[in-house]
Amino acid sequence: MRKVLFLGLALSFLSACGSDSPSEIVGYKTTMKVASVFNAGKIARGEVIHANFVVENTGEYPLVLSDVSGSCSCTVADWSKEPIAPGEKGFVKANVKTESFSEGPVTRSVTILSNTTPPNTKVVVEATIIK
C-alpha cells in the first residue's frame, strides 16, 4: 500500500511540474512588429555597435518582453521591462563590442523572448568591420 501511495504522489508531482522550458511564457498571447535586421554599415574595429530595434505591440493584449539575449558574450542587450500596451512601442537595444572581430562582414543575433506565438523572435545586427 505504501508503494502505491508513493508512486501516486511521485506521478502527481511529475505531472504538475510540466515544462521548465524558458522559451514559453504563460498568459495571453499577443503579436508584435520589429525590424528583423539592423545594419550598422562600416564600423572601425574596436568600436561598439549600438543597435536599436523598435518593438510595436500589434495585438490586443499587453506585450511582455521577458528576456533578450545576445548570441555571444560580445553582445549586451537591454529592453523595455514594463509591459507594452496594445498599439504602443517599446525598445530592444543591443551593444556589440567589436575589438575581437576580424575585418569583413559580421552578423550577431539577438533573441527576444515574449508572450507571442512563437515566443522567440530573432533579430540580427550586421556590420562590416574595417581598420
CA torsion sign for 79, 82, 87, 89 is negative
12-71 pLDDT, tens digit each: 433 444 444 444 556 799 999 999 999 999 999 999 999 999 999 999 999 999 999 999
What pLDDT shows up at residue 126? 97
The residue type at 89: K
77-93 pLDDT, tens digit each: 999 999 999 999 999 99
What pLDDT shows up at residue 27? 77
Strands 37-44 and 120-130: parallel
Specify the pTM. Answer: 0.78
Domains present along the chain, CATH in parentheses: 47-131 (2.60.40.10)
